[in-house]
Amino acid sequence: MDTLTHALSGALLVQALYFQQTQPASPKPEARPLPYWLWVLSGFLAGAFPDADAVSSLFGTLAYLTHHRGLTHSIFMIPLWAGLVALILSGLSLQRYRWQQFYLACFLAISIHIAGDVITAYGTMIFAPFSNIKVSWPVTFIIDLYFSGIILFSLLACALVKRHRQKIALAGMLILVSYVAAGGLLRQQALNIAQQYASSNNIDIKQHPIAAIAQPLSPFNWKLMILQQDIYHIAYVDLLHEPSENLNRQNTTDSFLEKVSRLYQPVKELEWQRYPQFGNQKEDSQEIQNIWQSEVLFDIRQFMMFPVLSRVVKNEQGYCAWFADQRFILGDIRTPFQFGACHHIDRSWDLVGLKDNRMIKIK
């Protein structure tokens, strides 16, 4: 999820679970009850906190890929991060409020941030630092306007109807949870379609991984993937619409959003495409696999779950191959996160990326 949605989700959750703090009989000035608005602001700020790991990008692309959604997104570290943010907020209040008064709001907001990342395809290291396994249940797209809209609408309603704001926040959270649960049901429906295709094509789903990943624009848009040995079977399905000539008609003047929308096909007209993982040329396939398994690409292999060759360049100086991740490829429209390596004649290696179709060295 984007950082703003995380922050807003934190604000909504703490409103839903707000409790009236009682004031001690003989309170000290710094022990006064935390105001409601400050409780909500704490949830907003703490909800954005885990994305502070974006500062790792200052140390290079590899540092970002390695550490983003890592330690700051660990379920084991939530108590520590909540305490840290609570201390910072207490300090910003000039000690007018104790850090303990901020702690629960910070704990809740950081928790929902982590949950919001787990339900996307990127992968989140929720068990760091004990494991770098990336957990993902990709039932929402990384920028989901419906998900964000539910949160924003609920917060606006809370602001307009202050008398019932906690009930409204609770209702908003229930709707949000229901939306995610519905995404889980749609994902299972998409997986069933992929399994039917695998069965009809004699693909053993126990040996070959199947994935269904939520896509942009609609919760009914899904990308289906099956990796059979070194061949990807890919389909973009629209679970909502019936076959329609208007949906399938394409135009070279279509906008970006129109091109994305037309990428997804109704179930009855679904077409599966096959893409070799390491290229079409058999004589080059082994060389490309050697590059993929090279030490210089170790961090890239940890990042990419469904790698596929995206580009090859041969010249007198050596051989370069770039790879992308099928999780993020959007047909022929968009291919982000392209990384690779160049093997030079002198046997040296360079880690490279693509930016605006230009090769860049990565350090």
pLDDT digits (tens, 9 = 90+) for 321-336: 999 999 999 998 999 9
Asked if 8 and 148 count as a contact pair (C-beta separation under 8 A), the reply is: yes
User: Given this model, what pLDDT does residue 357 score?
Assistant: 76
Note whether 19 and 49 are same-domain residues. yes
The answer to whether residue 94 is domain-embedded is: yes
User: Given this model, what pLDDT does residue 44 score?
Assistant: 97
Note whether 317 and 255 are same-domain residues. no
Final residue in a domain of this structure, among 276, 298, 324:
276
Note whether 44 and 95 are same-domain residues. yes
pLDDT at 28 over 60: no
Share of the chain above pLDDT 90, in %: 67
Note whether 38 and 74 are same-domain residues. yes
Note whether 198 and 268 are same-domain residues. yes
Note whether 269 and 290 are same-domain residues. no
Least confident of 180-194, 215-229, 234-248: 234-248
The answer to whether residue 253 is domain-embedded is: yes
- Higher confidence at residue 90 or residue 360? 90
The answer to whether residue 34 is domain-embedded is: yes
Final residue in a domain of this structure, among 254, 276, 298:
276
- Higher confidence at residue 33 or residue 82? 82
What average pLDDT does the segment 172-176 reach?
A: 97
Note whether 270 and 300 are same-domain residues. no
User: Given this model, what pLDDT does residue 248 score?
Assistant: 53
HSE (side-chain half, CA atoms, 13 Å) at 276: 11
The answer to whether residue 166 is domain-embedded is: no
At residue 60, the 3 state secondary structure works out as coil
Distances (CA, A) of 329 to 173, 234, 236, 324, 338: 31, 11, 11, 8, 10
At residue 351, the 3 state secondary structure works out as strand
The answer to whether residue 254 is domain-embedded is: yes
User: Given this model, what pLDDT does residue 26 score?
Assistant: 45
- This prediction's pTM: 0.90
User: Given this model, what pLDDT does residue 62 score?
Assistant: 86
**Nearest one of 247, 121, 237 to 189, comparing CA atoms:** 237
User: Given this model, what pLDDT does residue 241 score?
Assistant: 87
Distances (CA, A) of 50 to 9, 84, 134, 267, 303: 13, 12, 16, 38, 19
pLDDT at 346 over 90: no
Q: What is the pLDDT of residues 289-309, one digit of tens each?
A: 888 998 999 999 999 999 999
The answer to whether residue 338 is domain-embedded is: yes
Give residue 273's pLDDT band: very low, low, confident or very high (50, 70, 90): very high
What average pLDDT does the segment 39-47 reach?
A: 96
pLDDT at 244 over 60: yes
Note whether 263 and 302 are same-domain residues. no
User: Domain span at residue 316?
Assistant: 282-361
The answer to whether residue 201 is domain-embedded is: yes
pLDDT at 205 over 90: no
Note whether 97 and 222 are same-domain residues. no
| SS3 annotation, 254-279 | CCHHHHHHHHCEEHHHCCCEEEECCC
Give residue 251's pLDDT band: very low, low, confident or very high (50, 70, 90): low
HSE (side-chain half, CA atoms, 13 Å) at 90: 20
Final residue in a domain of this structure, among 102, 137, 172:
137
* Count of structural domains within the chain: 3
Give residue 27's pLDDT band: very low, low, confident or very high (50, 70, 90): low
Q: What is the pLDDT of residues 113-136, one digit of tens each?
A: 999 999 999 999 999 999 999 999
What average pLDDT does the segment 30-52 reach?
A: 90
User: Given this model, what pLDDT does residue 260 score?
Assistant: 92
**Nearest one of 341, 340, 324, 320 to 332, comparing CA atoms:** 324
What mean pLDDT is reported for the chain?
A: 89
Q: Which run of H or E residues covers position 237?
A: strand 231-238
User: Given this model, what pLDDT does residue 181 score?
Assistant: 98
The answer to whether residue 97 is domain-embedded is: yes
User: Given this model, what pLDDT does residue 25 score?
Assistant: 47
DSSP notation for 291-344: HHTSGGGHHHHHH-SSEEEEEEEEETTEEEEEEEETTT-BTTTB----EEEEEE
pLDDT at 86 over 50: yes
Note whether 265 and 289 are same-domain residues. no
- Residue 41 neighbours by CB distance under 10 Å: 17
Share of the chain above pLDDT 70, in %: 93
Note whether 271 and 286 are same-domain residues. no
Note whether 271 and 338 are same-domain residues. no
pLDDT at 150 over 90: yes
